[in-house]
Structure 1
Amino acid sequence: MTMQKEVFGLRFPATVFAVFLLAGCGEDGHDHPEISTGRELFEYHCGECHQETGEGAFLRGIPPVVYTTMTYRQLVAYIRGHGRAEDTRMPAYSSMPKAEAEKIAIYVRRKLKAR
């Protein structure tokens, strides 16, 4: 087998792999279904731990977000992983677009706290 055949033999599978890999990349760099409202984003990213009501899970050490004293800007920064304690169990959504974090913060401050 010649060197040219060996290179082509590897180039084609590598190209196909790269195309499939890049096809899976979204604009925002993180996976989730096509959701856009603050409520949908909260339920998708936060609801499993903080519950849909925002009450958290006391026995699991997950604080309620409905009683947060954080400002809107603090919430956005916290969601995206800024200004948090190193020992927090909450994942940092550093690849989350700021607009999505803002929608979640608005939902928490206006809708969940109003319940």
Structure 2
Amino acid sequence: MKSHLDNLPEPRAIGFSANRRLLEVETISQDCSLAEEVFEKVTRAQIVDGKRVSSLRFDDYYRVIGLLQTLCGFLLLPNGFSNSSMRKWMPRILGVPVEQYSSERMTYDLRRL
């Protein structure tokens, strides 16, 4: 590509093409809201394998965030995680005594996911 003025349309076309692709990517990455169906599915109870599973209520914000934060901490472990291993971390994240967070509570929270 030469740098003379009569060659201006060529770099201009390249610039517009790159700008158009960048705007497409930015538009896609900014469209991160939940669709209404997904929002309803997450916030309502469901039947999974014949058993009722409670929903993730948004008034339990700190518990849901704590659960997701704990799961992220165990994400890369080669042997995975167990209810008891997660239960050691959840009370710390929630700021409650260990005695107040039972294994039943951990099971309930995990099933809600």
Q: Normalised by the shorter chain, which TM-score bucket? A: 0.3 to 0.5
TM-score, normalized by length of structure 1? 0.37
The structure richer in strand per residue is 2
Higher relative contact order (CA 8 A, sep 6+): 1
TM-score, normalized by length of structure 2? 0.37
**Highest CA radius of gyration, 1 or 2?**
2
The structure richer in helix per residue is 2
